[in-house]
Amino acid sequence: MALDDAIKQMTDAIKAAYSNAEVKIAKMSDEEARLSVYAPAGDMQRIKDATFQPAIDLLNKDGVDIQVFVYDKDAPPLKGG
C-alpha cells in the first residue's frame, strides 16, 4: 500500500472515531508518517482504540509505518523552564 493511501485510511479511522479531530500529517519518508491528532480529552481513547490495530496491520502487512499521536486540544500549553 502506498503511504498516501495508508494516511487516508488512518485519517478516515480517526474521523470516524471523532469527526472534528484536527489531524496534522508529517511524512518522514516514503514508508513512514506521523499523524498528530488534536481532540477533546473525552474522545482521545476512542481515537487511540480506532487506530491501534490498523497501524499495526499496516506495518506488518504493508511495511508502512503510520504513527498516531493523540493530544488533548484543550490542554494548556506546556511551560518551559
Which class is 3-72 in CATH? alpha beta
> 78 or 35: whose pLDDT is higher?
35
Residues 42, 73: contact at Cβ < 8 Å?
A: no
Spatial CA neighbour of 69 closest among 4, 14, 9? 14
Q: What is the pLDDT of residues 9-26, one digit of tens each?
A: 999 999 999 999 999 999
pLDDT of residue 1: 86
Q: Is the pTM of the predicted complex or chain greater than 0.75?
A: yes
pLDDT of residue 78: 76
Q: What is the pLDDT of residues 45-67, one digit of tens each?
A: 999 999 999 999 999 999 999 99
Query: 50 vs 18, 30, 34, 37, 46, CA distance in Å?
Result: 10, 24, 16, 12, 6
Give the containing element (helix H, strand E) for 28: none
Residue 79 pLDDT > 90: no
